Amino acid sequence: MDDNTLKTFAYINISSYRMKAVKAMQKGNETPTQIANHSDIRLSHISKVLKELKDCGVAECINEQDRVNRIYRLTPVGREIADNLD
C-alpha cells in the first residue's frame, strides 16, 4: 500500500461502522439496506457512513441520479483496504 492508501486504511480502521460497511460491501454491489443488513448497522447510520466512504475514495455510487435504491460498490482502493482489514 502507498502512503495515501495507508492513511485511508487508518481512517477506516478507527471506526467500527466504517470497517463493518467496507466488509459488507466486499460481497459486491449493494444498496444501503443490504449494507445495513450485512453489517448490523442501523439504516439511519448507513447514509453518514457511505458519505464518509465516498469522500475518502473508498466507495462510489453507481447510480447517483436515482433517489431510491442507490447502488454502492468499493473502488479499487476500497477493495485493497477491505482485503487488509481483520
State the CATH number of the domain containing residue 24.
Answer: 1.10.10.10
For residues 13 and 86, the answer to whether their CB atoms sit within 8 Å is no
How much is the pTM? 0.90
For residues 16 and 65, the answer to whether their CB atoms sit within 8 Å is no
What's the pLDDT score for residue 11?
A: 96
Number of domain units in the chain: 1
Half-sphere exposure of 41 (CA within 13 A, CB side): 25
Question: Buried b vs exposed e over 22-60: b needs ≥16 C-beta within 10 Å?
Answer: bbbbeeeebebebbbebbebeeeebeebbebbbebebbe
pLDDT tens digits, 11-64: 999 999 999 999 999 989 999 999 999 999 999 999 999 999 999 999 999 998
User: The domain containing residue 35 runs over which residues?
Assistant: 3-84
CA distance 43 to 4: 29
